[in-house]
Structure 1
Amino acid sequence: MSHPHYILLPANSFFIAISLIAAFMLNLFPWGVHVGMPDFVALVLVFWSIHQPRKVGIGVAFVMGLLMDVHDAVYLGENALAFTLLSYFAISIHRRVLWFPPVAQSLHVFPLFLGVQLVQLTVRLLSSDSHFPGWLFFLECAVTTALWPVASWLLLAPQRRAVNKDNTRPI
């Protein structure tokens, strides 16, 4: 094999919290109003729901959804419902997804991101006089899925052990 299989260190709860805060901050930037911008909170929620389902679950997803509802000034509960369903389905497939490399994992998480957008669109269409935004609305889930391998590499970096053992380090 050309690349080693890493035995990962336990995930630090502080790092998980920092990554969720950073994803929320990235969603606060004004580029989110453009078509095709990724949902960083959904990306990080799915990642941690798959890799650490006991630390990041439905409750964290609900709170992050409420924060996004307040930020986006949408109906209270729209993102909370979508992120809760996202976390539930990510946890339900987490054992299967972890068997694949990150590029193949992105094919498994694409339906999750598409489902989030469908839930958000359904709530918007049922609750107001809004119209269908067009098919480019679904470009966001494709861009978020394309970022999955990069997010996997970045978020797993602190957990990787060194390939070559150093006798001065305890681990």
Structure 2
Amino acid sequence: MIMRPGQQQLLLPLNPIFMWGSLLAALLINMLPLGRVPWRPDLLALVIVFWSVHQPARVGIGAAFALGLCMDVQQSALLGQHALAYAALAFLATMLHRRLLWYPVLSQALQVLPLFALAHVLQLGIRMLGGGIFPGWGVIFPPVIEAALWPVATALLLAPQRRAPERDANRPL
């Protein structure tokens, strides 16, 4: 299909196995024992926001809350710390999904930056209320890194939907 500049390609239907597999893979990457450094981005939050924007009917607040509880248990954090942040992310991303999809990917990255910042502020606030110590000013970097990873996540997670519906010898894609 020949497309004019500025046009978007029509996407194929999403395979639910790929979507839930990507969420599970992000959960497992977050669970890797890489040490607790305050600047490490939360890839699960990135994938939750991505699928809440692109598939709001399939990934909702309940799924985000359940994944957050898994992260709380794995990190021995206060029960509900990640769950509240992920549920808030899913809610806000679902609220913004229609407006957000009108913009190019780089503008989307700037618009999801406050969502990621809010999630980290929620987690930090709950941790501080529970008696935790302030981890330092390195906590400013994860939302920025997550927003910078938004175009990469968009390219990777939409790649299966951008393939040609029928492959043949004359069409290389």
TM-score (norm 1): 0.90
Match of 1:55 among 49, 58, 66: 58
Aligned residues with identical type, % of pairs: 47
Give the corresponding residue for 1:124: 127
Residues 38-89 of structure 1, C-alpha deviation per residue, up to 9 Å, x if partnerless?
A: 1011000000000000000001001000000011110111100110011000
Q: Contact conserved, 1:62 with 1:83, CA < 8 A, in 2? A: yes
Match of 1:146 among 132, 148, 152: 148
2 CA distance for matches of 1:73 and 1:115?
22
Q: Tell me the SS of whatever aligns to 1:162.
A: coil
Give the corresponding residue for 1:134: 136
2 CA distance for matches of 1:32 and 1:26?
12
Q: Alpha carbons of 1:167 and 1:4: their partners in 2 closer, same or farther (altered >3 Å)?
A: farther
Q: Contact conserved, 1:31 with 1:37, CA < 8 A, in 2? A: no
Q: Alpha carbons of 1:98 and 1:91: their partners in 2 closer, same or farther (altered >3 Å)?
A: same
2 CA distance for matches of 1:33 and 1:2?
44
- For structure 1, the residue ranges without an aligned partner over 5 or more in a row are none
* Count of residue pairs the alignment pairs up: 168
TM-score (norm 2): 0.89
Give the corresponding residue for 1:157: 159
- For structure 2, the residue ranges without an aligned partner over 5 or more in a row are none
Q: Tell me the SS of whatever aligns to 1:31.
A: coil
Q: Alpha carbons of 1:101 and 1:163: their partners in 2 closer, same or farther (altered >3 Å)?
A: farther
Query: Which one-letter code corresponds to 2:124 in the other structure?
Result: L
2 CA distance for matches of 1:19 and 1:52?
13
In the alignment, structure 1 residue 104 sits paired with structure 2 residue 107: yes
Q: Tell me the SS of whatever aligns to 2:34.
A: helix
